[in-house]
Amino acid sequence: MTAAATELRAQQDRGRQAAQNREKWAQGRTYISALVILIWCLAPAYWMVVTAFREVGFTYDTSILPSHVTLDNFNTAFDTSFGNHFGQALLNSVFIGVDALLIGVFAAYALARLNFRFKFLVLGFILGASMFPGVALITPLFQLFTNIGWMGTYQALIIPNISFVLPLTVYTMTSFFREMPWELEESARVDGCTQGQAFRKVIMPLAAPAIFTTAILAFISSWNEFLIASQLSSDATQPVTVAIASFAGAQPNQIPYTAIMAAGTIVTIPLVILVLVFQRKIVAGLTAGAVK
């Protein structure tokens, strides 16, 4: 082997080594960035859980690891002696979210399967409703529901939540229903099913991934809504966001931080577990109808 060939081989080896080093540094930067983002996003949730299990007397303890662990804060969160209604608020949030989801599923099915005049105009209005900010709707909704006597009722909370959840539900479910073959529904009709039975027994089971995805997103939207619910709800109908913000302590002007953190943990952790367990179905539902 000549000296020129040896030098060329050495240059090639150095070039490959440099490329490998650049690739390793790129992967390292990616992992470091992902770790920083993960810590940044999860640190508040971790501190919420740590504070939720901490005794009241050590609320402001700055230790990162859990210390002075107790379960009394969770009992305090459900205690109604201080005027808190967290248990009822949980049921209210579930009720509001389920109603909004059901209406959205039926609306999406109608827009995907039925032919009627101004169909696309209706779909455009539904999707356009998501562009209105909630702060711009408070005053007219407050005036409207006051005039018709709906202030503090479930209707006053369900209807605005439907307007917020419906665009997302319809957008997700319509694309899924459109990709389902008509023959499935027609076969069920031939076998003697009505249109409602075909929808309930054939279409709904097949649409489970999209329905589950929409349910998770609808519940997140309903549970996170605070601005309008704080103005239109009462003690009997308030959702969890308003109930947690209204927590009162044993003494006047006392903010029960540990009980608030316990309530936040109760609301957040089960939802996170559901998302982690069913993440594949969620991804399948989000990508349903995207590829023909």
Q: If we measure between CA atoms, which residue out of 219, 225, 217 comes closest to residue 286?
A: 217
107: Cα separation from own chain's centroid: 20
Q: Is the pLDDT of residue 91 over 60?
A: yes
Least Cα distance to 228 among 96, 112, 99 occurs for: 96
Contacts of residue 158, defined as CB under 8 A and 6 or more positions apart, other chains included, come to 96, 99, 100
Q: How many CB atoms lie within 10 A of CB 116?
A: 8
pLDDT at 84 over 50: yes
d(CA 164, CA 56): 38
Residue 153 is predicted with a pLDDT of 84
Is residue 292's pLDDT more than 50?
A: no
- Tokens 């316990």 belong to 262
- pLDDT reading at 56 higher than 60: yes
Unique residue bearing structure tokens 């931080």:
257
Question: What is the assigned CATH class of domain 74-287?
Answer: mainly alpha
SS3 annotation, 62-88: CCCCCCCECCHHHHHHHCCCCCCCHHH
Angle between helices 154-179 and 279-287 (to 10 degrees): 70
Mean pLDDT on 6-14: 67
